[in-house]
Amino acid sequence: MRPDTPAAHTTEAERLLRTAARYPEDHEPLLLQAAAHLELAGDRVRATTLYDELLSAPGTEHPHLVKALNAANLWEYGHEAEARAIIDGIRAAGPLEARPWEIAAETLEAHDELESAHDYFSTALTLLIAPGEEVPYATQSLLTGRHRVRRLMGVRHDAWDELADALHTAAVPLDELHDPKRLWALGSSDPGELRAEITRLRAELGTYRTALSRPFPVAVLHWPEAELNELLTAYPGLGSEYDSHPDHLARLETALRDLHAAGTPNLGIVTGTVPSYEAFAASEAASPADPNLLPQYATTLAARGRAVPWPPARSAACWCGTGRSYRDCHGGVL
């Protein structure tokens, strides 16, 4: 059950902080979750302390995401100038991941900075969407956010709005969900208008429930060649799961393509290491030689924020670690 009181959120934050101390390799995603619960508990100052701790720590994997979350939090308790400076800094840095852009743009939108939010969404999409390539799952929310802001601004649809409409799968179209006149319907005494609004809200709620039911990607487990060799040397019984490293990589790509073809969104790849796997097995009081533990390990890594979205852009480095582009490696096979 999700926490729904300030005290429950504080308790959950403390639990996550204890977990982070036990699993330093997952320190960053666990502290981000703890900070989110502290914000919901109303303890925004302490949340900022966690964000600052992450930003000052060496090796933070997603500094721009941390900065965006910190900016959103700071603005909420009166530090607007500092938040704006951080948001400007994210834009100047141009990170190649969608979440920092989305959070910063939504922060501007939440404070009625519609022109700035629109510009922020547009800049992000120009940077992250390559012409002719499939829109990554994580980037689709930028299209949706930009569509919403443009509806609030009262401007006409453009090509990106049409793409957002095409990617939207809910029964109620985006134009209805993002219609500014919906606010008027909430104060209407017309039964027809109220029924229509209830239908739209149900569609919106269904979309949110789908997202909440899978807050992390459907992830497959990837072993680098050296790690796979070490794993099979230590636990030869797992050899039935892996014929060879090239076969392992080919099977992963095939599985991801099959899931994608079946309509599964939010796909990702998590990379395993033998020490991490053995620690996970110990925490589950299970044997690392048990093949049934492998999918549980993958799910746990994904839940801790270790998944890399799939597919990468064709021109991006391939997920398998060869250093070649995805187009020239696994993107052009099978």
Nearest to 311 by CA among 294, 327, 334: 327
pLDDT of residue 201 exceeding 70, the answer is: no
pTM score of the predicted model:
0.73
Rounded to the nearest integer, the mean pLDDT of the chain is 87
Q: Could you tell me how far CA 43 lies from the centroid of its own chain?
A: 24
Nearest to 37 by CA among 89, 66, 2, 64: 2
For tokens 């721009």, name the residue: 64
pLDDT tens figures, 49-99: 999 999 999 889 899 999 999 999 999 999 999 999 999 999 999 998 899
Output the CA–CA distances (angstroms, integers) from residue 25 to 46, 56, 64, 98, 273, in the order listed.
Answer: 22, 16, 19, 23, 11
Q: What do you get for the CA distance between the two ends of the chain, in Å? A: 42
pLDDT of residue 334 exceeding 60, the answer is: no
Burial of 50 (0-12, 13-18, 19+ CB in 10 A): buried
The residue that leads in pLDDT, 319 or 158, is 158
Here the tokens at position 23 are: 């699993």
pLDDT tens figures, 122-151: 999 999 988 877 888 888 999 999 999 999
Nearest to 308 by CA among 267, 274, 252, 265: 267
When mean pLDDT is compared over 102-106, 134-138, 212-216, 249-253, the highest value belongs to 102-106
pLDDT at residue 236, rounded to an integer? 93
The residue that leads in pLDDT, 4 or 157, is 157
**If pLDDT is split at 50, 70 and 90, which confidence band does 1 have?**
very low
Here the tokens at position 316 are: 């991006």
pLDDT at residue 153, rounded to an integer? 93
Strand order in the sheet with 218-222: 218-222, 267-271, 308-310
CA dihedral for 82, 143, 160, 311, sign (positive or negative): positive
